[in-house]
Amino acid sequence: MTTPLSHGDGPLYADPSANHAREFFRTKPRALVDKLMSVKDAVTCFVHDGDYVAVGGFGADRLSSAVCHEIVRQQKQNLTLSGHTATHDFQILAAGNLTGHGKLIARVDAAYIIGLEARGLSPHARRVMESGEVESTEWSNYVLAARFKAAAMGLSFLPVRSMLGTDTFRHSAAKEILCPFTGDKLLAIPACYPDVGVIHVHEADRFGNCRIRGTTVADPDLARASKKLIVTCERLIPSDDIRSDPTRTVVPFYCVDAVCEVPFGSYPGNMPYEYFSDEEHLRHWLEVENDPVEYKKFIDKYIFGVSDFAEYLQLCGGLPRLQKLRQEEFLLNRGR
């Protein structure tokens, strides 16, 4: 039973060429130098209009909220996003569309967008996607993770066994191939080398050596796949700590371009072993999006009206609120 091999019709937004990537990585700095800077400077230096941007974590879990806010605040334009479990990250970045600040999101590789899991769908993100002003190509979560993995391996594609036979495949940019050994049909998925990757980690030294506690999701591959990488960390640690236990380093310094210390940097998302998600704030954000006028006021206050993430945290209740979320993470508030 041989059927002709087919391919998805969706546009491919990132160049999968391993040779082009090698040319870039040949020039990427490898020196063990201090990369500490502010989030503002990191976004100014490393995120450019038209870039392909990949954000790590899993939706609101271990999310670099600070960088997402800064990208919106600096009104970056015409970005392509990797919609890999993009929940609150997509919701933040969508504030740059249909709000009088141009068009921040222009294209999206969509595996999971618009939703915030069990919390519901983002009304504003829906408006943005349903307006037709954002182009999209469909994928699945694993396939986007595997596209980062292919890039981290220095390849141009990997074969997988999902998406076959579905509209997700037909609206993707993947191609069916036959295994050269078994003849089985497989799906070839293009490597994804983002222009800039953004991850939030527990600890990093000033050179960019990173530690993550809990699930890594796709971050180690995303970090290696990205041409430029911005790391935000809960805590800056001495480089001696890194060298005292190198088994804990999940992203090495030579992948990293910027290190920004942002305590509570995943707020209002969850940071495992640090603080739980602020469900009240996330619910408020979802509700206020129902009314475009109120929503505009909301982002003017929480994103455009502050100069940095610390000010946003202050607006959201500051340390007392964050300490409560820490207690919740440690399950200390059960039944209270």
Tell whether residue 247 is a contact of other proteins (CB under 8 A): no
Angstrom distance (rounded) from CA 213 to CA 203: 9
| Beta strand segments in 223-335, E | 228-236, 258-261
CB of 186 to other proteins, least distance (A): 6
Q: 178 to each of 144, 200, 211, how far by Cα in Å? A: 21, 38, 39
User: According to CB under 8 A, which one of 100, 247, 331, 336 is a site residue for other proteins?
Assistant: 331
- The smaller minimum CB distance to other proteins, of residues 156 and 277, is found at 277
53 three-state secondary structure: strand
Angstrom distance (rounded) from CA 232 to CA 42: 10
Within positions 58 to 117, which residues make up the interface with other proteins, using CB under 8 A? 58-62, 83, 85, 87, 110-115, 117
Angstrom distance (rounded) from CA 245 to CA 158: 33
Within positions 267 to 286, which residues make up the interface with other proteins, using CB under 8 A? 270, 272-273, 276-277, 279
- The smaller minimum CB distance to other proteins, of residues 132 and 180, is found at 132
Bridge partners for 185 per DSSP: 178
Angstrom distance (rounded) from CA 82 to CA 110: 7
Bridge partners for 189 per DSSP: 158
CB of 97 to other proteins, least distance (A): 13
Please, are residues 61 and 38 in contact by the beta-carbon 8 Å criterion? Answer: no
Tell whether residue 168 is a contact of other proteins (CB under 8 A): yes
CB of 75 to other proteins, least distance (A): 24
Please, are residues 268 and 88 in contact by the beta-carbon 8 Å criterion? Answer: yes
Tell whether residue 191 is a contact of other proteins (CB under 8 A): no
Within positions 200 to 219, which residues make up the interface with other proteins, using CB under 8 A? 213-218
User: According to CB under 8 A, which one of 7, 48, 101, 119 is a site residue for other proteins?
Assistant: 119
- Where does this chain bind other proteins (CB under 8 A)? 1, 3, 57-62, 83, 85, 87, 110-115, 117-119, 121, 126, 129-130, 132, 138-143, 145-146, 149, 160-168, 171, 176, 184-187, 213-218, 220-221, 270, 272-273, 276-277, 279, 329, 331, 334
